[in-house]
Each structure stands twice: as C-alpha cells, then as structure tokens.
Structure 1
Amino acid sequence: MINLADLEAAIRTALPVSHLEIEDQSSGCGESYAIVLVSEAFDGKNTLSRHRFVNDLLKAQIAQMHAFSQKTFTPKQYEDYLAKQC
C-alpha cells in the first residue's frame, strides 16, 4: 500500500512542481491514485513522453498499486485548461 504523503514526496523530490493534485480513488486503501501534475519540466515533451517520465519516476510506487492515472501539463497548458473549465 502506498500512502498519499509518500507519493507526493516522491513527485516533489524528483521535479519542480507548479501544481499537484493527488486523489486516492480507493477510499483510503492506497491502491488507486489519480494525479494532476503541472511542471515546467514537461516543456517540449509530448503527452506520451510525460507519462513515461512519471511512470519511470514512480515505478516502485506504481508497482504496489492496482491503478494509477495521470494528467500532466506545462504551466501554460494548465492555465489554458483552467480557463476552459469556466
């Protein structure tokens, strides 16, 4: 089982984070997480490259989960994403 604090620490230690949302989708069991991650480290990378990067970064944690989903944005993309939500 992975706890939210350990997952957050692993992400924040590995790359600059502008915004991070982590949702435990397994009712507190730590088996299924969804994240929204905004980082300038994603500049110039396509979605597949970003997801591979995050999957590699969190390989040990993901191996202990049942499910993991992610949305990754550059700061500018996240700004545009939020503007469309209104």
Structure 2
Amino acid sequence: MPMAAADIEALIVAGIPDARVEITDLAGDGDHYAARVVSASFAGQPRIKQHQAVYAALGDRMGGVLHALQLTTAVE
C-alpha cells in the first residue's frame, strides 16, 4: 500500500519539530518520493548525519511501505 505524502511530512516533522518539509511524488505511484528537509537542527552536522536524522524519523517505513526517497537536506 502506497504512503501518502502528508504522512511522510508528518513523520519527519514529528521527529524533527523545526523542519520545513517539501514532498514531491516522483512517479505518481505513492512509492517514489523526493523530500527536501530544512532544519536549524542540522547546523554543524555532516550531510550523512542529517539524512540519518530524517531516516530515524521515518522509522521502519523506509524500505517497507515507503519504497524510495530521494532526500535533500539543508540548514535553515
């Protein structure tokens, strides 16, 4: 079952409360998304740690109900 973009955004914001999140459905199938996540909490962190924070917020949904996520992170 595909995951809704709003659900992805809600999970990320729940895990990274100050995040601004933009979700794009890349294939129109609810399985392949791009996410841009901007957060002040990323300051001083290497990109890999920023991505790990987003994946942690998504929990076990990555690779399961959420098949693919093209991720871009930035510091606010």
Q: Distance in 1 between matches of 2:7 and 2:51?
A: 19
Residue of structure 1 equivalent to 2:71:
70
Deviation at 1:66, TM superposition (A): 2.3
Pairwise CA RMSD: 1.3
**Where has structure 1 moved over 4 Å in runs of 4 or more?**
none
Contact persistence 1:7–1:61 (CA under 8 A): no
Contact persistence 2:36–2:71 (CA under 8 A): yes
Residue of structure 2 equivalent to 1:8:
9
Deviation at 1:61, TM superposition (A): 2.6
Residue of structure 1 equivalent to 2:60:
60
Contact persistence 1:35–1:71 (CA under 8 A): yes
Give the number of the structure with larger relative contact order, counting CA–CA contacts within 8 Å between residues 6 or more apart.
2
TM-score (norm 2): 0.84
Which ranges of structure 2 fall in alignment gaps of 5 or more residues? none
TM-score (norm 1): 0.75
Report percent identity of matched pairs: 29
